[in-house]
Structure 1
């Protein structure tokens, strides 16, 4: 699958045309707060365990949060199950990008998705190396008021052995090449299920370039060792769902877990918890905000 790019020749022109007021119902961040964006990543656990009930719980939380962008993993469509990202996007009033290695028109398709309530300036998709692992990355460049931001969604190899570590390192290297080819100078946010701790060697190249939003917000706090694997399903706690951000362009201000409580007795939104984070645009050098102590 070749990377495919749709958008105007210059994202700045598209950004100027796309700057529109936030949709009705969007969260009011207050006039005094520096501009920024919010991002959610969530592994849907495809259609297991009463998807019709789970999707209503997920929809209510996302409607309340109104994040600017949402990265979804384990998204499925098949007979009698509408594409899960399409279902959520329609009810949220969001645009979406679904990426799968299954060809369009297949009875069953499985992959990742990005949803956004913001204008889309460009979109891309890519099949990550090694090709036999069938892993993808989705990309949207979106307009956040007067800023363009690149958001990427992915899901890396799940194996916990040495082969899994090697494959994830190869996938990270390919992901970074894809970002370099598509970011076009705008800030970058990367979200997904990485199947690795944030300080794992598999992700070292990624961490060399991008910050960990949850870890940045909760460094040296009681929240630092939390798990994004649902303890109802997994014995060992591990934070493997991450939102990475470009540290010279963005600042992590808030981060929290989502769907970390059952919505009914013994019923959960997924086998993973979601992660929500709020990012601010970093002050430009020489601006009053950058020089104020």
Structure 2
């Protein structure tokens, strides 16, 4: 009893406050394949638990009997969203990328990446993170694995960087999406010269070549092609991990990609 009393009067250790910053998720939704009504509930539960400041989504679809996937998730989460598609508004089927945020939106935009014949887009939101404006961009680059695909991705990266330079101002930049390329690929070199790889920065001593964001249930070779890049002079990557990398039921997965979550801290 005396020991219990002595322990009882010890002050509780306060949790260490996290430095100011933001969290970001990128995830390829695999549009509405493989029982979307069930998959979306699994995705929603994970995002509700994480409450990320911003979410980049790729392969977002809307069509008859399928409400816009980004709009559905945003509505359930209580988030604002920006959906970007080359399909005109009012068309029976639209397909593209989206950004979701729980933060106030200061500005928004969209851009069709060069070459225009590839129908690739970028979505942009400038959000207020506790008084600090941050630019977040979401994109999905060309999927071809041959030399021509690399050339197209290089052109898309150059156009993406020009769009960011024209729209970001002085606020920090975060770029997330499915780049269809390894982080050290030549077609992403111009991007890597200016922005850091959040997952690679956090897990620098791990065997990154064995990490995959392509779901190994669907794809044989590991390939980390979904990335969250950050502006290194204004942000620091503190945590990063994969999401949806386990089946939620026998043979059922949230997507054919895993998601990526990262926590970024404002640089001193």
Shorter-chain TM range is over 0.9
Q: Residue in 2 aligned with 1:126?
A: 111
Q: Residue in 2 aligned with 1:11?
A: none
Q: Distance in 1 between matches of 2:233 and 2:78?
A: 32
**1:59 and 2:44 equivalent?**
yes
Answer yes or no: is the 8 Å Cα contact 1:218–1:224 preserved in 2.
no
User: In structure 1, the residue corresponding to 2:151 is in which secondary structure?
Assistant: helix
Q: Residue in 2 aligned with 1:187?
A: 172
* Of 110, 118, 142, the match for 2:95: 110
Q: Distance in 2 between matches of 1:222 and 1:260?
A: 17
Q: Distance in 1 between matches of 2:108 and 2:230?
A: 19
Q: Deviations over 1:126-162 (max 9, x none)?
A: 0000000000000000000020000000000000000
Q: Residue in 1 aligned with 2:215?
A: 230
Answer yes or no: is the 8 Å Cα contact 2:209–2:222 preserved in 1.
no
- Matching of residues 1-293 of structure 1 within 5 Å: 32-222=17-207, 225-283=210-268
TM-score, length basis structure 1: 0.86
Q: Distance in 2 between matches of 1:267 and 1:142?
A: 35
Which consecutive residues of structure 1, in runs of 5 or more, have no partner in the other structure? 1-29, 284-293
Question: 1:33 Cα shift?
Answer: 1.7
- Count matched residues: 254
Q: Distance in 2 between matches of 1:179 and 1:67?
A: 22
User: In structure 1, the residue corresponding to 2:210 is in which secondary structure?
Assistant: coil
Q: Distance in 2 between matches of 1:224 and 1:70?
A: 25
Q: Residue in 2 aligned with 1:14?
A: none
Answer yes or no: is the 8 Å Cα contact 1:250–1:279 preserved in 2.
yes
Answer yes or no: is the 8 Å Cα contact 1:215–1:224 preserved in 2.
no
Asked which structure has the greater CA Rg, the reply is 2
Q: Distance in 2 between matches of 1:221 and 1:152?
A: 27
Q: Distance in 1 between matches of 2:176 and 2:35?
A: 26
Q: Distance in 2 between matches of 1:210 and 1:223?
A: 18
Q: Distance in 2 between matches of 1:172 and 1:125?
A: 15
User: In structure 2, the residue corresponding to 1:205 is in which secondary structure?
Assistant: helix
Q: Distance in 1 between matches of 2:40 and 2:131?
A: 33
Which consecutive residues of structure 2, in runs of 5 or more, have no partner in the other structure? 1-14
Query: Over the residues paired in the alignment, what is the CA RMSD in angstroms?
Result: 0.9
TM-score, length basis structure 2: 0.94
